[in-house]
Structures are given as structure tokens and as C-alpha cells.
Chains A and B, each alone.
Chain A
Amino acid sequence: MDFDLTEEQRLLKDSVDGLLTDSYDFESRKKYMNEKGGWSKAVWGKLAEQGLLGLPFAEADGGFGGGGVETMIVMEALGKALVLEPYLATVVIGGGFLRHGGSDAQKAAHLPGIIDGSRTLAFAQLEKNSRYDLFDVATSAKKKGSGWVIDGEKFVVLNGENADTLVVTARTKGDRRDKTGIGAFLVPAGAKGVTKKSYPTQDGLHAADITLTGVEVGADAAIGNPEDSLALIERVVDEARVALCAEAVGLMDESLKTTVEYIKTRKQFGVAIGTFQSLQHRASDMFVAAEQARSMSMFATMASDFEDAHERSNAIAAAKVQIGKSLKFVGQQSIQLHGGIGMTMEAKIGHYFKRLTMIENTFGDTEYHQRRVADAGGLI
């Protein structure tokens, strides 16, 4: 049992923190947000140069063979700096599908572009009525010759505006909520029949609603078994949840730090408001919430390697619950302790709050995961 980082991991942390300190202050972020697609190609290039985009991939595939802890380190750092670039969509999720389910040919076709930063991916999964159930898929993929024809509507696809390739979940057989008959397909974003409606999200990212109308793809588009890929989808989404937990920890750390600095300097009644006990206790409770979240983020990171899929999912669901509760408290109280200034677009704290809030509602909110843990009979 060990919670320390190895020497290599510490170096990785230093390098990603250093990169973001240099190129990602709050003012730069505003500029990046106004670039096409809502993030900076230049920063993406730097992430590629430092090898961060190839981090989780096997060395044989041109990556660096990093594991869950390495991804956790990067996601925490990205959270701390409130980074807009599509690391989650491209490296964690898109890359996750290729790592866990991709054929050699698919890896060869897609990984080099991910690793060198020339191509990004997006995960087209959410549907109008699916909410958080990954098996609830109405989008259809029908056999045509040796390939597939995909029809359906996908919503809030993060990085959907910019991505070169979409990973689309679609049903190859059965009814909307059947757990079998679901496939995951690689679809070129520019394929005929793909239309996108793009928009910014509440937290400053960019997403798109995507309609697929008679989109034809080859047999080689299916990742894994097109008739039975739910386990693969769950595994990749579990890793995305773990990554979001780490991002949230980074966001909470920075929120707490910023808030504590603020109450040390803001004066009322002739003294720094941080000298008032009611505010001190609130800040202490924020610290407690953030530490509990960090513990569960670490737990989730280690749980992603559990062999038993059921045990893995349960642990990660539990982590998402703790992170959801902690982020709500830390986020809300950060605004409260900032007072009026916390309500303004100008102050950075509100942007942290908004990103935290959106994380709660991504891939299952607190209630959803709490129900899953309860239905699984708890943890003890």
C-alpha cells in the first residue's frame, strides 16, 4: 500500500504543472476560448510535444505506456488550470476505445494522429432520452453489404465541433434499452450524412448536437464486437469518470486555494474577513470535502485496474458520488466566501464553479451513482 508518486510520476507532474503555469493563466484562457472550436491549437501542440497526448498508449503503439496514475496526474493539472483542450474526449475516451477494443489496423490508423496532436476525437453517446444509461441506445446501425448504415441523433458531444473522428454508439439489434446489440463505431466527422449544430457549453467548453442520417461506414468502423460492446463502452466510460474525478480534485484544490487567498486579503470591519470564525470553519469544511474527494479519486484510479468489472464499476460509482458531493460544497462555498465578486464573469472562481457543476452531471450524477452503489449492496 503506497500513495506516493514514483520519481517518474513526480517528474511528469512537475512538467505538466510547469507547462500550464507558463501557458495557461486565466487571461490566456479567455483568448483560447475565442479561437475556432473554442480551444488553442498551440497549447494542444505543446501537450503533444511533451508526450502527454501519447501518455496512456502502449510503447508499441507509439505511446509512453502510462497507467491510471499518470492520467490522474494530468487530469488534476488540467483541472487546476481550467484547461479547455479536449484531452478527455480525445485521449481518455477516444483513445480508451482504441486501447481496449481497437484492432491493430484501427490503432495504426488513429493513434499516430492522436499522439502527435494532429487529430482529435469526440464521443457521440448521449441521446435525447438516454440520460445516464449507457445501454439506452436508439441510434441504429444496420448492416449494408459488409459495412454499416448509421441513423440517429446524439447530443452534447464534447469537442463535437472540432473532432476529426467520432466514436458513435449505435444499436445493431434489439430494443432501445436492451443490454446486448450495442456497438461502437468510428465515424469520420466529415462523412456524408453527418450534420452538426455547435455551441459553447456553460463551462466554456464547446459541444455539438450531431445528426447521423444514412451515414455509411465500412466493416472496419466497428470497435470490437458491433453486437456486444456494452462492456467495452462501460469500461471506457468508467475511465472517463475516473479522469473527471481527478479533474474535479484539481478544480477543487484551486478553488479552495483561491478562496482562502481571497478571504486573507479582503477586508471588512477593518480586518481580513478570514479572521472571522464562521468563515474559517466554512473553509475548513471545504478542505475536508476536498480531501475526501482526493482519497476517492485515488481509490477510483486504483480501482480502474480491478479485474472484476462489477467491483470496478461499484468503486468508481462510489468515487463519483463522493466527488459530486464534495464539488458541490466546495464550488458553492467558494462563491459564497467570495461574496458579490464571486458572482461576476470577471473573477475566475465562478468559472471553476461552473466546470465543477458540469462535471457532476457528466456520465452519471451523484443520485444516479448512489443508486447504483445501493443496488449493488453497498461497499461494506
Chain B
Amino acid sequence: MDLAFTKEEQAFREEVRQFFRDNVPPDTRRKLVEGRHLSKDEMVTWWRILNKKGWGVSHWPKQYGGTGWTSVQHYIFNEELQSYPAPQPLAFGVSMVGPVIYTFGNEEQKKQYLPRIANVDDWWCQGFSEPGSGSDLASLKTKAERKGDKWIINGQKTWTTLAQHADMIFCLCRTDPSAKKQMGISFIVFSMKSKGVTVRPIQTIDGGVEVNEVFFDDVEVPIENLIGEENKGWDYAKFLLGNERTGIARVGVSKERIRRIKDLASKVESGGKPIIQDAAFREKLAACEIELKALELTQLRVVADEGKHGKGKPNPASSVLKIKGSEIQQTTTELLMEVIGPFAAPYDVHGDDGSNEAMDWTAQIAPSYFNNRKVSIYGGSNEIQRNIIAKAVLGL
């Protein structure tokens, strides 16, 4: 057992950090620190910088543009990225559909899609959840019927993150209505510009528009847009969801937010002195930092285990990451709320345009608190995670 990173790993961390210092546009970083939303252009600009460096799809196999890093290097890269902070690669393309395509797709599909994912020439979104299919995803109803050399797609997806920017969607569709629910599902990709696709924004409680409803009315999709085998889509979906086990803890994000809490708490006064000098507040913050340290160690255990023994058999500790990671992210946003107190209230009707300088320093804190309630819901709600632990780990 050894906690220390090797000299090479430390040098790698320095290299990554330096690259971020030199290349992340300062305005992009500032917006992330303040919890603001980024424009499509700001995100794509950064991702292309990253891709040019060869780090856009770092965890892909080398032949498709990956880096060949060790799992510890991936961990370091992610931690530095999250805590600098810089925008994380677009998960829907890079972490989700990309690996499905290079694992189950044919040569033609690999050639067609992978480079465009890496350079974000196509912005991808995920068509999984439906109004009636949340935690019970396999009950989904969106249909793809084969008609000649086309799929005809009808139905509705929801919670489709950033679909308003999307060029492409990967979609779970029912292709065999007579089969048992997990069995008759296929994994089909298509253009969001297709005739019959309608995107309707959903405004969330923080006032932002991150998610959408997406409607399909007789959308015609070429038959070759099926990935892998027909009716095997559920297997690919499980593969996709199991692929990103360690990033979900978002330790770097919480670290960055704790630094922000400390920064604000040393400026905002309560009882005539900075809040950071209040013993009760400090202890609450320390409690959160200790939880985060424990999570970081749990994550390192999973990373080290994957590095040594491969990803085949998930470490039982990995199921802790989603639950604790989301709880801690939420706690950090609660602590920010506590720091700014009554100044949490003003609502910046102008959004993120910077026109309301007076409240700039607090304007995004309440929205960020509201927005972060999502992290214990998405990606398999924490209740679903507890079901998974009970069944897969404890054998209940």
C-alpha cells in the first residue's frame, strides 16, 4: 500500500496543470467558478483546443485517438480538469456513444462518427429517458419500425441534456414489441436535423435550460444507422452506463467549490467578523472536507484497482462513488448558500450577461444550489444506486 504518486505521475500532473493555465480561456474558467452556464461556442472552442492537444478523447483506444494513459493518469487529468476548472469533455459523445461505436459499431460507422465526436463536429445528445420511463428505463416506448431501407421512428424522449445544441442523437428504440422488455430494444443513431424531430426546452428550477423534451414523428432514419445487432440495444446501454464509474464522484468539482466557499467565507461578515472565523461554520465545512477526502480515497482505491486488475470486475467500492459524490456536491452548494445568507435572494433576470454587476458575486449561488439537486437524481437516482448495492454487493 502506498499513497504516493510516482515522480512520473507528479510530472504528468504538472504538465496537465500547465496546459490548462496556458490554454483554458480565462472567461470560460471564470464562468465555471461562478457557476454560470457556458455558451455552445465557449464549450466547443475549448474542446477543440483539447482535441488539438490530443487529449479530447483521452480514454479511447489509441487507434481511435486515445492517449494510452494509465488509469492513474486519467484520474489525475480529470481531477485537474475539474478543479482548475475547465469544461469537461461532452460526455454524450466522448464517454457514452463513442465507446459504444468503437466497441460494437462496424468499420464504416467508426470512420464516419469517431473523428467527428473527437473534434465535436457533431454535438451528440442522449435519447434514453422517456416521460414514463425514468428509473425503469427498460419500459421505454419509442418505436423504430423497419420499412424497406429505413427505420421509422415515433415517440418521445425527455431530460435530453443540451439537445438544443445537438446535431446527433443516440436513441434506445423498441424494435420488437413482442419481446420481453429488455430484449426488444435497439441502439440507433440519427441526425437531430431529420424531418419530424422537435425539440422543446424544459426550464428547470434554477431558471436555466439544460434539458429538453424531444419528439419524433415519423422520423426516417437510414437502416445502416443501427449500432451493433438489432434488439441488443439494452446490452449496449448497460455497457455505456457502466463505462463511466469513477468520473461520477466529481471530486475535483467539489474541491474547487470548497475553495470558493473558503474564499467567500473569508470576505462575507457575520457578527462583525468573517464567517470563516465562526467555529460552528468552520466545523461544518471541515465535516464536508473530511467526507470529500474519504470519497477521494475511495475513488483512488477504485482507480488503482482498475489499473492493476482491469475494468472487468467492478470494485464493490465503486457503487459508493455516485451516492457520496452527489451528496457532497449538494452539501457544498448548501454551504455556499449559508455563506451568502440574505444575498441568496436576488434573481438575475438578465441571466448570465453580466449586466447586473452589483449582484454578480452571488447571483449564481442559489441557482447552483437548486440545479445541484439533480445530481442525486440523474445517472441512476441514489435510491436506484442503493438497490444496486443491496442486490449486487450485499446479495439481498
Contact = CB atoms under 8 A, between A and B. Distances in A.
Tell whether A and B belong to one assembly: yes
Interface of A: 1-5, 9, 69, 260, 263-264, 274-275, 277, 279-281, 283-285, 287-288, 291-296, 298-299, 301-303, 318, 321-322, 370-371, 373-375, 378-380
Interface of B: 1-6, 9, 72, 255, 258-259, 262, 279, 282-283, 285-287, 289-295, 297-298, 300-301, 303-305, 308, 316-317, 320, 323-324, 383, 385-387, 389-391, 393-396
Contacts of A380: 255, 258-259, 289, 292-293
Nearest to B83: A380
Contact of A298 (B297, B393, B394): B297
A299 B6 CA distance: 17
Max chain A Cβ within 10 angstroms of own Cβ: one of B298, B391, B393: B298
B383 A292 contact: no
17 contacts: A2-B304, A3-B305, A277-B387, A279-B396, A280-B396, A287-B389, A287-B394, A295-B301, A298-B297, A318-B289, A322-B290, A322-B291, A371-B279, A371-B283, A373-B290, A378-B285, A379-B286
Closest 10 CB pairs of A and B: A295-B297, A280-B390, A374-B286, A284-B389, A284-B386, A374-B282, A302-B3, A292-B294, A281-B386, A373-B286
Given A3-B305, A277-B387, A302-B3, A379 B396 contact: no
A158 B386 CA distance: 40
A284 B5 contact: no
A202 B255 CA distance: 40
Nearest to A288: B320
A374 B324 CA distance: 21
B1 A373 contact: no
A69 B1 contact: yes
Given A1-B300, A294-B317, 10 more contacts: A263-B396, A279-B396, A280-B386, A283-B390, A284-B389, A291-B320, A299-B293, A318-B290, A321-B287, A380-B259
B390 A322 contact: no
A299 B286 contact: no
A9 B9 CA distance: 26
Contact of A318 (B293, B298, B300, B395): B293
Given A1-B3, A292-B324, A318-B293, A283 B285 contact: no
A285 B279 contact: no
B1 A302 contact: yes
A317 to B, nearest CB: 9
B180 to A, nearest CB: 23
Contacts of A1: 2-6, 9, 72, 300, 303-304
A188 to B, nearest CB: 38
A370 B287 CA distance: 7
Contacts of B259: 380
Contact of A322 (B294, B303, B323): B294
A69 B258 CA distance: 31
Nearest to B293: A379
A264 B297 contact: no
B301 A292 contact: no
